[in-house]
Amino acid sequence: MTAVEGARVYLRTGCAGCHGREGEGGRAPRRAPRLVKVEPGPDVDPWAAARILPYRSPYATTVWDYINRGMPLNREGTLTADEVYALTAFLLYKNDVIAEDTVLDAQSLPQVKMPNRDGFAPLPDWQPGMPRLPGYPY
Ligand code: HEC
């Protein structure tokens, strides 16, 4: 599945109704978050680009998993696996992570190098009795 198919799925499955036609975020009363970074270009600091899962996430598989489990809100579980690949491709394309014709499937999705892949501090190995990290979850 590619971003081209994803653009159609995005409209057909109602994402645009909450997140805006271009992923710019919803207006009241449906204040769904932006899905596309604000600044154009490939080299935006992911931490400066607001909370944009399809840009900031360290792994593309996390984006697929989030959409698969959590979206569309109130109709979770209604998307096929291919629709989720298409939507993931669309959102990664809109965030300058992949090209418009990049095919995402079970093999290629884990190979995507996210721009913030190395931007996360490593977690210490958990040991029994270890306290939660300060401020966790955030
Ligand atoms: C009924 C409104 C609604 C619809 C329809 C909807 N969403 Fe969402 N979406 C939300 C809300 C609200 C959140 C924030 C949820 C939260 O913070 O717990 C969200 C969060 C997200 C996020 C995570 C954003 C981030 O940076 O954390 C993604 C990705 C996403 N939606 C994709 C989609 C896709 C793809 C579709 C279409 C299949 C879709 N959404 C349909 C309301 C909606």
CA distance 48 to 137: 20
Say yes or no: CB of residue 32 within 6 Å of ligand 1: yes
Tell me which of 34, 71, 78, 83 to substitute to probe ligand 1's pocket, judged by most ligand atoms within 8 Å of the beta carbon.
71
Q: Is 53 in the pocket of ligand 1 (CB under 6 A)?
A: yes
12-30 tens-digit pLDDT: 999 999 999 999 998 877 7
- Both structure tokens of 4: 């081209």
Q: How far apart are CA 73 and CA 126, in angstroms?
A: 33
* Mean local confidence (pLDDT), 107-135: 89
pLDDT digits (tens, 9 = 90+) for 37-48: 987 777 788 888
Determine contact, residues 4/101, Cβ cutoff 8 Å.
Answer: yes
